[in-house]
Amino acid sequence: ARLLLATANKKKLVELQRILDAALGMHQIELVGLADFPGYPDVPETGLTFGENALIKAREGAKRTGLPTVADDSGLAVTALNGMPGVFSARWSGAHGDDAANLDLVLAQVSDVGDEHRGAAFVCAAALVLPNGREHLVEGRQTGRLLRARRGEGGFGYDPIFLGDGQERTNAELSPAEKDAISHRGKAFRELAKVVAKELPR
C-alpha cells in the first residue's frame, strides 16, 4: 500500500519506514513524503496536544492528496518545565527545526535542576486518516531523564541528552534498531501498523 507521511522531517520519514518495515515486512508499505508534492503548504500546528496536531497534519494530507495519510506529532515533555517544550519541541528556540539550538535552550533551562528532578518523557502521537474519512489515533511514550551534556551522534533532536529508564546509553548512543525497540515512535507506530494492516489489506 502507498501511504503519505505528512512530515517535512526527513529523519522521521527514515525512522517510520524502518519501523513499519519491521512490523509488517519489507515492501508492504511505501511511504511517500511531502517532498513528492511540490507546493504543499506549511500547515499550522495549532493543536494543544500531540494527538490534535497529528490529526491536523494527517487530515490535511489526505484531503490534499487523496492518499491514506499518516502523521507523527512528537516531542519532549520535561517535568521541571511543566511538560514543556511539549508540542513546541521543534520550535522551542524560535527557529523551526534548529535541533541544536532547541537542545541547548532546554539544557540551559534545567541547569539548576537537581539530579532527582530531571525526569522527562518523549511522546509520539501517530494518526492515520483515510480518504473515506475514517480516523485512527495512537500514542507512545518513552520515559527517562535529562543529562547535563550531550552524548552520542545518532538519532536526532533531543536524543543526545535523553537517558531512557533502565538504559546506560542515551538515545543518540543506541543503534537505530535499539532506539526503535524502546522509543515513543517505535511504540506508537507498531500500534498504528496493526491498524494499517486491518484498514489497508493487500
* Count of residues that interact with ligand ITT, criterion CB under 6 A: 24
Helices (H), the chain: 10-24, 50-65, 99-109, 176-182, 184-199
If one asks whether residue 59 binds ligand ITT (CB under 6 A), the answer comes out as no
Q: Which residue has the cell 511531502?
A: 34
Of the listed pieces 17-25, 62-70, 127-135, 150-158, which binds ligand ITT according to CB under 6 A?
Answer: 150-158
* Grid cell for residue 125: 502521537
One symbol per residue from 61 to 100: x for binding ligand ITT (CB under 6 A), - otherwise; what is it?
-----------xxxxx------------xx------x-x-
Given the residues 72, 73, 99, 159, the one annotated as active site: 73
Q: Which residues pair with 70 in a beta bridge?
A: 5, 128
The terminus-to-terminus CA distance of the chain in angstroms comes to 7
One symbol per residue from 13 to 52: x for binding ligand ITT (CB under 6 A), - otherwise; what is it?
--------------------------------x-------
73 is catalytic: yes
Q: Are 107 and 121 in contact (CB under 8 A)?
A: no
The DSSP bridge pattern shows strands 69-78 and 119-129 to be: antiparallel
Residues at the interface with ligand ITT (CB under 6 A)? 7-9, 12, 45, 72-76, 89-90, 97, 99, 102, 122, 155-159, 171, 183, 185
